[in-house]
Amino acid sequence: RPDNHYVVKGNAGSPYAIKDYYDVCPDLAENIDNRIEEFEALVTRTHKEGMKVLIDFVPNHTARQYYSDKKPSGIEDFGVSDNCDMFFSPQNNYYYITRQQFCPSIDLGEGADRYVEFPAKATGNDCFNAFCGEYDWYETVKLNYGKDYGDGTTHFDPIPNTWLKMLHILRYWAAKGVDGFRCDMVFMVPLEFWNWVIPNVKKDYPHVVFIGEIYDVNLYRPFLSYGCFDYLYDKVNLYDTLVGIQRHNVSAAQLTHSWQAVDGIGDRMLNFLENHDEVRFGSREYAENPLLVVPSLVVSSMINTGPMMIYYGQELGEQAKDNEGFAGDNNRTTIFDYWSLDTVRRWYNNGECDGAHLTSQEKWLRSTYAKILSICNKEKAVSEGTFFDLMYVNLNNPDFNPHRQFAFLRHHGDDTLLIVANFDHQTVDIKVNIPNEAFDYMDLPDGQGMCVELLSGTRQSKRLTRGERFEMSVGANSASIWRIRKKNFKPI
């Protein structure tokens, strides 16, 4: 059933304006009638390659014209049994602006083509009136989880109908082999819902992972502990700090405050440098040059044992320079229109996927991403190890610039990694203080031994002794990762 185009953003429409929670977008199918079977085959192929499949779960809102043509037998669409004469009812799926027609500031057409909604429903970004604007999420409708936004009261007993519908949807996809859900805007849905729904899904699908998109550090701990999430976006903390360092001359020493803000839960943070909401790293609104990514990538992927998310085309240095339909030229890759990225097309090379048409710089960047992410997976000091911040003993170090360099240790078993990210546009020769506390905490060797710099493969005999500084050179907009293996060291 087609949507009225006046309440669709772009030609494709936002993938976050959910038309049918039980369906796959027909545009993704080779044979539209077999799109569910094609998705199931995709899951099977992916699992055979040793990978996992995560999909988006958008709990806060639906498209304005929600209708499921793939729902299982016995399932009722959202809103079908709602009492539309009430702004709020605990068993309604939507909120209604009673006795008012939907009258946004956008054009709704004329005649038979006009979009008419009466009574108006609340709009997805918590716009509880009939007059949303062009910058509101006017293509979406807010779902009702039992909270009355009129007086602030909550009504969770008996279980709201929306909760039951959403549990069925999550279990439907888990039964198809989906390994996890990236949950959209989780803070816009009551925390009590997550406390109820995630354990209920995991009763039968304990392996399923839940990742929450969230933008308030103060909510991290409640959503992890009471909300039962496995991981959360760390956008407003680590990501924003890295943007500030790269773009606004914020001191690299501020990264200490970033990890301290999530101390004890850092390993449950999902780190990233790009996603569909944020500008591309190489865009004019961020770094302007994708080749400058190494220090940010090293910090975000190695500061804890949490997962790292890479957005498609990021590893090729996609800069989002195109004017892309509804979204325009906004330094992001559009989610509203049918589009094709030049970088990805050239890597894809008519299905060869060999990158034959990439530039030398793009090939270097892709191999650099692969190298850094492989270190994250292969080196247990990163994937499983402990963390030690070295900044507090280097803030006044004359041979180290804490505004442009960030230094830390990762340790596991016999191996310690000394990692220095250099955000400076010049190569630097530095001497890093390593305190006695680090020697004791990580049982570091004290002497001379052969070390390996993991990004370059350089092998070099190094001195690591109490009271002396560790010397190294770090390239401009780069990083050094020295692996110190205890058995390779001898006392001096």
Contact 61, 137 (CB under 8 A): yes
State residue 10's pLDDT score: 96
Q: HSE-up of 60 (CA within 13 Å, CB side)? A: 24
Quick one: which H or E segment has residue 193?
helix 191-202
* Cα distance between residue 395 and residue 401, in whole Å: 8
Quick one: which H or E segment has residue 37?
helix 35-48
Contact 258, 266 (CB under 8 A): no
pLDDT tens digits along 178-235 = 999 999 999 999 999 999 999 999 999 999 999 999 999 999 999 999 999 999 999 9
- Tokens 């760390």 belong to 234
The amino acid occupying position 112 is A
State residue 362's pLDDT score: 99
Contact 181, 54 (CB under 8 A): yes
CA distances from 490 to 48, 178, 461, 482 (A): 46, 50, 11, 17
Quick one: which H or E segment has residue 247?
helix 240-247
pLDDT tens digits along 276-306 = 999 999 999 999 999 999 999 999 999 999 9
Contact 310, 269 (CB under 8 A): no
State residue 438's pLDDT score: 98
The amino acid occupying position 250 is V
Decide if pLDDT at 108 tops 90.
yes
CA proximity to 395, closest of 253, 259, 246, 244 = 253
Please report the sign of the dihedral spanned by the C-alpha atoms of residue 243, residue 244, residue 249, residue 254. negative
pLDDT tens digits along 388-420 = 999 999 999 999 999 999 999 999 999 999 999
Mean pLDDT (whole number) for 154-159: 98
Start-to-end C-alpha separation, the chain: 77
State residue 21's pLDDT score: 99
- Tokens 């190489």 belong to 282
Q: Is 487 exposed, middle or buried (0-12, 13-18, 19+ CB in 10 A)?
A: exposed
* Cα distance between residue 127 and residue 142, in whole Å: 8
Structural domains in the chain, CATH included, are 1-195 (no CATH), 234-378 (3.20.20.80), 386-490 (2.60.40.1180)
**β-sheet bridge partners, residue 298:** none
Decide if pLDDT at 149 tops 90.
yes
State residue 1's pLDDT score: 83
**pLDDT above 70: percentage of residues in the chain:** 100
Mean pLDDT (whole number) for 132-146: 98
Burial call 182-210: b when 16+ CB within 10 Å, e when fewer? bbbbbbbbbebbbbbbbeebbeebeebbb
pLDDT tens digits along 6-20 = 999 999 999 999 999
Q: pTM (2 decimals)? A: 0.96
State residue 486's pLDDT score: 96
Reading the block at residue 234, the tokens are: 């760390």
* Cα distance between residue 15 and residue 63, in whole Å: 9
State residue 174's pLDDT score: 99
Reading the block at residue 87, the tokens are: 């702004």
- Tokens 């339909």 belong to 325
pLDDT tens digits along 240-251 = 999 999 998 999
